[in-house]
Structure 1
């Protein structure tokens, strides 16, 4: 999981509109790469956090939800950047609660914290952070593909990813080190292929 925080001077915010930033998921990998380069060149500051699959899996032993892990990581980024206004793409079903939880983790008080669902579609500054994060993820994925073969997007909705996991488990009797053990899809594939429990649904 890759999370990014990015800051711009208020006088430079118009640059984001001119650059044409928008929801990163709607951009091609090449477009994300190009935009990410320009954003990192122009921004006032940027912090990228890569959360390893091991840390995501280990949170279960620490009884930390994935939402809480994201809150902790986002708060760390915000604390590092110290922006006066903060815009957050909320991961919780309760967007306001997500913002409050992050605020409580901070050692300073921003003048404004906006926490909303789909903030990357509403606010160019969030779109910018999303683009940089997605580009960094793209780069990691492409490097893994060079070493281990094409496994698709790495998302549960991708049948190519599921097929890759299935074949890996059949051949190696384990899961790739870069796959989440706590992923429900991984658990179900292991049950089906190693423990002979029929999986009726995994997407």
Structure 2
């Protein structure tokens, strides 16, 4: 067995980040044809996620809500948050070697910082594009992506169509504009610590002040 850790939803302004850890036979994962989740269709990801769950010896999923991300951002960079979240997953894993997708430009530093937070002896192999290099990280990427997509669809049932939730998405921008115009604030499940959210609020507040000048 070997283990991998990856995340989904690092960049969006709406919705949670999901981190997943998967331990499974590398040969079995290769047999399934796992690859970076971004290179798979939603239907293929969902099918693979079911197959991964059948063969994995361990799967750990951590859902980090926007409120917790905002709270952590008061003290940490986004890379530091990933170190913290990856460490939480690895601390629960039963293998001595874990492959991770490096968020830091310095792969080895990312591994060292995770290791400092993990309360056990574990060899962390950190690489850029690890979801392309290691099947166990590909599997973790798929599990994380499928879980986040499920959560996003549930949120849309409650909130309406906000698009992908990424700051550059035109529908996401329109949704935030429409919601603010109606409610005078950002909607729930928005990462208020994101620069795009702060810029949006500042722009709207300055515009409102201008109405009274």
Looking at secondary structure, tell me which structure has more strand per residue.
2
Asked if 1:14 corresponds to 2:30, the answer is no
Asked if 1:64 corresponds to 2:80, the answer is no
Gaps of 5+ in 1: 198-203
Q: Is the 8 A contact 1:47 1:77 kept in 2?
A: yes
Per-residue deviation at 1:152? 1.2
Q: Is the 8 A contact 1:6 1:128 kept in 2?
A: yes
152-161 vs 41-50, which moves further:
152-161
Question: Aligned to 2:67, which of 49, 54, 66?
Answer: 54
Match of 1:3 in 2: 19
Per-residue deviation at 1:116? 0.9
Match of 2:139 in 1: 128
Q: Deviations over 1:83-114 (max 9, x none)?
A: 1211010111211100000011122212x321
d(CA) in 2 for partners of 1:166, 1:174: 10
d(CA) in 1 for partners of 2:128, 2:109: 12
Q: Deviations over 1:31-89 (max 9, x none)?
A: 1111111111210001000111011111233x122211211111111010131211010
Question: Aligned to 2:93, which of 59, 81, 87?
Answer: 81
Higher RCO structure, 1 or 2 (CA under 8 Å, sep 6+): 2
TM-score with structure 1 setting the length? 0.90
Asked if 1:184 corresponds to 2:200, the answer is no
CA RMSD between the two structures:
1.4
Asked if 1:92 corresponds to 2:108, the answer is no
TM-score with structure 2 setting the length? 0.86
Gaps of 5+ in 2: 1-16, 209-213
Q: Is the 8 A contact 1:173 1:194 kept in 2?
A: no
Match of 1:119 in 2: 130
Match of 1:201 in 2: none
Match of 1:44 in 2: 57
Per-residue deviation at 1:189? 1.2
d(CA) in 2 for partners of 1:32, 1:190: 36
Q: In the comparison of the two structures, how many residue pairs are matched?
A: 192
d(CA) in 2 for partners of 1:140, 1:117: 27
